Amino acid sequence: MRSLLVVLALAIAGCGPRAQIPAPADVADPPDSAIVTNSGLVYVPLKKGGGITPRPDDKVIVHYTGWTVDGTMFDSSVSKGRPAKFVVNEVIAGWTEALLLMKTGSKYRLWIPEPLAYRGEEGFPAGTLVFDVSLISIE
């Protein structure tokens, strides 16, 4: 967990996005069709992937954009022009849970409550966070 916090802190602080990506219209409130897991993760599949599902110890390559529920973008591999690589179980709990549900080629919109995100860690976005995540591949 700590390694993800370091990775995302560097991404947020040192390598800021080049361009803002507008927040989706439903950023503040997921649609009624959203799926809610037992942990409180909320997600909507935006694109169905036909590939394989990663395991917790797999390294994945993803594109993502993250917003706070007020529509403020705080990070984006898309606007940086390069996908992110990380091990599935070394990211925030909400990402790990979502990635284990996804297949390569899929894209999900996630609403991650604070207990599954940064849990109030100083220097990180607070509250529920919204991410569009595309699972490109598994290394």
Each residue's pLDDT tens digit, 17-27: 468 999 999 99
In a domain, 24, yes or no: no
Residue 41 belongs to a domain with what CATH number?
A: 3.10.50.40
Q: Answer whether residue 10 shows pLDDT above 70.
A: no
- Check whether 111 has a pLDDT greater than 70: yes
Inside any domain, residue 74 = yes
Distance CA 8, CA 36 (A): 25
Contact at 8 Å (CB) between 101 and 41?
A: no
Q: Does the residue 23 lie in any domain?
A: no
Give residue-wise pLDDT tens across range 18-73: 689 999 999 999 999 999 999 999 999 999 999 999 999 999 999 999 999 999 99
**Domain extent at residue 81:** 2-18+33-138
Q: Looking at residue 19, what is its pLDDT?
A: 84
pTM: 0.87
Asked, for residue 77, whether it belongs to a domain, the answer is yes
Beta bridge partners of residue 66, listed in sequence order? 75, 131
Domain assignment present for 28: no
Burial zone of 132 (CB within 10 Å; 0-12 exposed, 13-18 middle, 19+ buried): buried
Domain tally, the chain: 1
Q: Indicate the average pLDDT of the chain.
A: 90
CA atoms within 13 A on the CB side of 53: 10
* Residue 26, in any domain of the structure: no
Res 3 pLDDT > 90: no
Q: Model confidence over 80-100: pLDDT tens digits?
A: 999 999 999 999 999 999 999
Residue 40 placed within a domain: yes
Written as six digits, the tokens of 130 are 């919204």
